[in-house]
Structure 1
Amino acid sequence: METALTELTGVRHPIVQTGMGWVAGPRLVTATARAGALGILASATMTADELRAAVVKVKSRTDAPFGVNLRADAADARERVRIIVEEGVRVASFALAPSRELIAELKDAGVVVVPSVGARRHAEKIAAWGADAVIVQGAEGGGHTGEVATSVLLPQVVDAVDIPVVAAGGFHDGRGLVAALAYGAAGIAMGTRFLLTSDSPVPDPVKAAYLAATVGDVTVTTAVDGLPHRMLRTDLVASLERAGRARALAEAVRRAARFRKLSGLSWARMVRDGLAMKHGRDLSWSQVLLAANTPMLLRAAMVEGRTDLGVMASGQIAGMIEDLPSCEDLVRRVMSEAHHVLRTLPSPEGVGPWP
């Protein structure tokens, strides 16, 4: 199935595996790339040296195209861009809108630039700055999310920009791919669905918690870091939501002490990171500490398997996922379903399927 996304990136199928911190490492990205979809390495939870090593590892395992997700506001963003260019990575993805200068630098080096956005105005801005494509995530998506559903946001963005649009938030099968194409998208991006594969490095007990979740068990909360964050509802999340300011601060300090030992970060560094996130937002001091530790809260679950100490970012679609296929089987299944749906759609005249 050729679309503007496959033509732009060189992958066989119009499917993107998103860059999930602590999850989208060389193992998952290699499996995705081998399956013919676009795997994205998550670099925000890696040092620059770890990023280069991860890129080299994927390149040693497959010749297929893949990408790297960057934080545009990282202090060493330009160093990471240099790694992408030097290692010949095909795609650069961004969780926050990159600057016009960063986009130009990557494009001049032949790298395809595909930022992720959650609002039409952001898509319009990065399109005007020269981005090659855009991933647009609706409210159903996991992690930090907005309020507008994919079915409303996607056509808005498709109508507003003249670059390929990839739909994210609420996708897990071939029916969703066909629906996205009908809206005018060039493909779909999936996070939770790729997290729940046999190629994902997430510990089995954590995967089991996702598989056991219903749609109602996936919630949006601001209790973790002051921003709307979609995740599985757990006892930790519930306790943060119930806690008063004094108790929340005490709990944040206690957890911060645990994560400081795990991460090796100093108290001063953690507070600086939290204050950077507090800038321009109305966060309590407990949220400042938790904001600085959000990556470590995710790590506790996604790497250590500690669902009692960590959070589990999740799209609403987790409530509809029931198995753990390999990336190869998942991509093959999505494409087979998509072709089947296209074949069985009624024709415009209402007589039989599409040719």
Structure 2
Amino acid sequence: MSGTVLSTALTDLVGVRHPVVQAGMGWVAGPRLVSAAAEAGALGILASATMSVDGLRAAVREVRSRTEAPFGVNLRADAGDAPERVRVIVEEGVRVASFALAPSRELIARLKDAGVVVIPSVGAERHAVKVAGWGADAVLVQGAEGGGHTGGVATGVLLPQVVDAVDIPVIAAGGFRDGRGLVAALAYGAAGIAMGTRFLLTSDSPVPDAVKAAYLAASVGDVVVTTKVDGLPHRMLRTDLVDALERSGRAAALWRALRHAAALRRATDKSWARMVRDGLAMRRGRELTWGQVLLAANTPVLLRASMVEGRTDLGVMASGQVAGVIDDLPSCAELVDRVMAEAGAVLRSLGSGAVRGVR
């Protein structure tokens, strides 16, 4: 175990040993990965959007049976059953609630009243300012390098912009994989870093070996952004399927989305009425067209095909650009230990002559 300990506003806020967050990734961040990250001293985040409410409660209890360390749950603020999921978080004593989209003022207040730390994820300065004003305890900011749904502003530009705009702890995401990145984020004013692709590529990740091999084989140029999966910018590995989606017409895309909506309903045990309510909430909360709402069903189904079933030919693989420079599969404990040891070494080098002088 690394002797490097960095206490920050994040570690103080959530009670973890290290200022490192394992991002909540659908079909990936289940009890096995989350508990391993938590045991390693990071903040593990359970991804709940692809679970039923009962499945979420069972997953929380499984994590709790594996570790006594703090962990969190990520959920969609625009989901029709968000209040039910919040109830599970409160009743089960989960330490942190994170959100893929800005939660309402009411949800934030309900969680904070129950002693739950609220950390929304944002991709723009104005969204960070909004949730900070509503009472969020911290904010996770993802730059364009990050995997999955992403914006167009690089982390190195977006992060200091948000740090300067809010007075709550900021967690940096998008492009992080090692201790050098952690030190850089701290220098920008962040309280820690979040990593998705790097935790996906660990021995504790449940992702099938064939899928991990595809990530390890990718170069930086193989990680692309497409809007053809669900109508929104989405960073993922380039594959034959992604190329085919890029060439497909609108009619084919909408028909595929209808089939995937039906598959998603079965996988999450939702009624069609609940699916429609979720679609209405999504349309209002993210200002989407009905076509984009329908296409949104593609993402979880195509991710499941790869992340659960191992079908790299039939599924998509959300990925940060860092996949192109990752070449191993450490355990979560080995990864976090390595990140902290390297961060300590970088900080010591800066203090002992890496900078030749300041005038």
TM-score by length of 2: 0.91
Q: Equivalent residue for 2:288?
A: 281
Matched positions, count: 350
Is the aligned partner of 1:218 residue 2:215? no
Q: Structure 1's 281 and 316: CA in aligned 2 closer, same or farther, altered over 3 A?
A: same
2:181 aligned counterpart, secondary structure: helix
The structural deviation recorded for 1:179 is 0.2
Q: Structure 1's 99 and 252: CA in aligned 2 closer, same or farther, altered over 3 A?
A: closer
Kept after mapping to 2: 8 A contact 1:270/1:292: no
Q: In the aligned structure 1, how far is the partner of 2:164 from the partner of 2:259?
A: 48
Q: Structure 1's 238 and 7: CA in aligned 2 closer, same or farther, altered over 3 A?
A: same
Is the aligned partner of 1:154 residue 2:159? yes
Q: Structure 1's 257 and 179: CA in aligned 2 closer, same or farther, altered over 3 A?
A: same
Q: In the aligned structure 2, how far is the partner of 1:238 from the partner of 1:212?
A: 18
Is the aligned partner of 1:237 residue 2:242? yes
User: For residue 97 of structure 1, what is the amino acid of its counterpart?
Assistant: A
Structure 1 unaligned regions, length at least 5: none
Is the aligned partner of 1:299 residue 2:304? yes
Q: In the aligned structure 2, how far is the partner of 1:201 from the partner of 1:136?
A: 26
RMSD of Structure 2 on Structure 1 (CA): 2.3
Q: Deviations over 1:273-297 (max 9, x none)?
A: 667656643464xx65432232111
User: For residue 14 of structure 1, what is the amino acid of its counterpart?
Assistant: P
* Amino-acid identity (%): 79
Is the aligned partner of 1:5 residue 2:10? yes
Kept after mapping to 1: 8 A contact 2:264/2:300: no
User: For residue 16 of structure 1, what is the amino acid of its counterpart?
Assistant: V
Q: In the aligned structure 2, how far is the partner of 1:283 from the partner of 1:218?
A: 28
The structural deviation recorded for 1:245 is 2.9
Q: Equivalent residue for 1:104?
A: 109
User: For residue 167 of structure 2, what is the amino acid of its counterpart?
Assistant: D
TM-score by length of 1: 0.92
Q: In the aligned structure 2, how far is the partner of 1:121 from the partner of 1:289?
A: 27
Structure of higher RCO (CA pairs closer than 8 Å, 6+ residues apart): 2
Residue 28 of structure 2, aligned match among 23, 31, 34: 23
Q: Following superposition of structure 1 onto structure 2, how do residues 325-344 of structure 1 map, counting pairs within 5 Å? A: 325-344=330-349
Q: In the aligned structure 2, how far is the partner of 1:245 from the partner of 1:119?
A: 29
Kept after mapping to 1: 8 A contact 2:78/2:282: no
Q: In the aligned structure 1, how far is the partner of 2:259 from the partner of 2:94?
A: 41
Residue 208 of structure 1, aligned match among 191, 213, 238: 213
Q: Following superposition of structure 1 onto structure 2, how do residues 130-279 of structure 1 map, counting pairs within 5 Å? A: 130-249=135-254, 252=257, 277=282
Q: Structure 1's 307 and 273: CA in aligned 2 closer, same or farther, altered over 3 A?
A: farther
The structural deviation recorded for 1:32 is 0.3
Q: In the aligned structure 2, how far is the partner of 1:60 from the partner of 1:81?
A: 20
Is the aligned partner of 1:129 residue 2:134? yes
Q: Equivalent residue for 1:49?
A: 54
Residue 88 of structure 1, aligned match among 93, 99, 112: 93
User: For residue 40 of structure 1, what is the amino acid of its counterpart?
Assistant: I
**Range moving further from structure 2, 73-82 or 48-57:** 73-82
1:79 aligned counterpart, secondary structure: helix
The structural deviation recorded for 1:244 is 2.6
2:296 aligned counterpart, secondary structure: helix
Q: In the aligned structure 1, how far is the partner of 2:50 from the partner of 2:151?
A: 23
Q: In the aligned structure 1, how far is the partner of 2:268 from the partner of 2:141?
A: 32
